[in-house]
Amino acid sequence: MTVCAIEITTAAPFTIAADGSYAARLAGSGEARYPERWTLAGPEPYAVPLPLAQPEEADSEVQPLGDGRVLIHRRVADRHAFALLYPTGGAGAGPRTGELALGSVVPGREDVRVSLLPPPPGGARAYALASSAAGSAVWRVAGGPFGPVARIPGRCTGGVWLDRGGRMLALDREREGTVKAVAVDLGRGEATPLLQIADGSDDRLLCADPDSGLVLIRSDAPGETRLGWGVLGSARPVRFPECLRGLPAVPFAVQPGQALMPETCGVAFRLEDPADGSGGWGDVALWRPADRRVFRLAAPAGWLGTGVWSPEGRLRLPYSTPEVPCGIAGVAMPDAPAPPVRVAAPPAAEPAAPGAAPRTGPPGPVPPRPVPLQQAPLRSAAR
């Protein structure tokens, strides 16, 4: 799957591993919260609760690893503690939860925000971002020596993986009043510019797909904050489709496997305007750059706000209701309607000469039909 920047505002989002095999969330409510792991790789999803002796705080974060263990991030006094949770069995005792402490981040400043980054490809590691106005640091918190692996001047937010190896990470860095996405090489601990649409514009990276190179951005370079798309490593400018203008949407998954074909990648958005006024997640919007339109679909009841594309090109949406505590709804990308074709009227026939025999036989060759704009190659900057 393609990992997108975390923009979910709830304290306990539903997080899916980079390969789509596992997911984790903080289940329960009020003062009775506990981690829960979902297994998504089998024919039917199922959930395993991972409670401990004490309930978890509502602001704890959880994230699945590729081996089925669940990483938890807790705020403990003035430090941020990280541990791995896993199910254990005991004869006649029922399922239990094991815990392996990993380490802690002690910010040292009151304005430092510590949060988990999206699950990296591979599933063996996990990283956290410690950010403040004085600077930011990426910490390895699982899958290797615990500690910082990169330090970046400026306050950083977001987090998008740019490669399948889990080495290149994009962050949105704020410096001197503007926000620009930078690429962080975790192997070298260095950050380099990634997005620079205009000198004074705020340019944030929301999603990236390593297979096709498709990236989704949010920028105010057009004069207002808009959603746009481009291709990593391409010299072509970013496009700001008119159909995405003003759409209250956050991308959460890009269809993988479309090598060198960014225009055909399906993108799933979470709409932030639930029509029922429930305060939960809104509907789902699907879009492809080649379609020039947005398909709005009703989300399943109890939708958990995210999803993953299957290798067959179906979007899988996790949901939880009292009747179905652990469910997955499949959605296919709708076919775009064929663009309208305007056929010019045939030219008027020349009048026959007096006494000439009427013309017979098949008509002459038809002149080439101009290609309508809707079918033209992708060259419009307004897309």
Distance CA 123, CA 21 (A): 9
| pLDDT at residue 90 in the model | 58
- In whole angstroms, what is the distance from residue 239 CA to residue 132 CA? 32
Residues 6+ apart with CB under 8 A from 137: 129, 130, 131, 148, 150, 151, 152
> What average pLDDT does the segment 319-344 reach?
81
Q: What is the pLDDT of residues 334-358, one digit of tens each?
A: 876 655 555 555 555 555 555 544 4
Structure tokens at 104: 């802690």
**Structure-model confidence comparison of residues 59 and 344, the more confident one:** 59
**pLDDT higher at 219 or 343:** 219
Q: How confident is the model at residue 127 (pLDDT cuts 50, 70, 90)?
A: very high
Tell me the CA distances in angstroms from 146 to 83, 102, 104, one per residue in order.
11, 7, 9
Average pLDDT over residues 253-279: 81
**One-letter amino acid for residue 180 of the chain:** K
Instruction: Say yes or no to pLDDT of 317 above 70.
Output: yes
Mean pLDDT for 63-75 is 97
pLDDT of residue 92: 54
pLDDT band at 233 (very low <50, low <70, confident <90, very high): confident
The mean pLDDT value for 18-36 works out to 94
Distance, C-alpha 297 to centroid of its chain = 17
3 state SS of 236? coil
* Contact in structure between 217 and 204 (CB atoms under 8 Å): yes
Q: What is the Cα–Cα distance from 153 to 173, expressed in whole angstroms?
A: 8
Q: Which residues contact 172 (CB under 8 A, 6 or more apart)?
A: 5, 156, 157, 158, 179, 180, 181, 182, 204, 205
pTM of the model: 0.84
Distance, CA of 154 to CA of 181 (rounded, Å): 12
The model's confidence at residue 240, banded by pLDDT at 50, 70 and 90, is very high
Residue range 209-228: mean pLDDT, rounded: 95
Query: By three-state DSSP, how is residue 108 classified?
Result: coil
pLDDT beyond 60 at 283: yes
Pairing of strands 267-271, 249-254: antiparallel
**CA 18, CA 66: separation in Å to the nearest integer?**
8
Q: How far is residue 78's CA from residue 109's CA, in Å, rounded to a whole number?
A: 9
What's the confidence (pLDDT) of residue 292? Answer: 84
Identify which has the larger pLDDT, 222 or 368: 222
CA angle 163, 287, 224 (to 5 degrees): 85
User: Phi and psi at residue 72, in whole multiples of 5°?
Assistant: -125, 140
> With bands split at pLDDT 50, 70 and 90, how would you rate the model's confidence at 324?
very high
Using CA atoms, how far residue 335 sits from 40, 286, 295, 307, in Å, is 27, 11, 10, 20
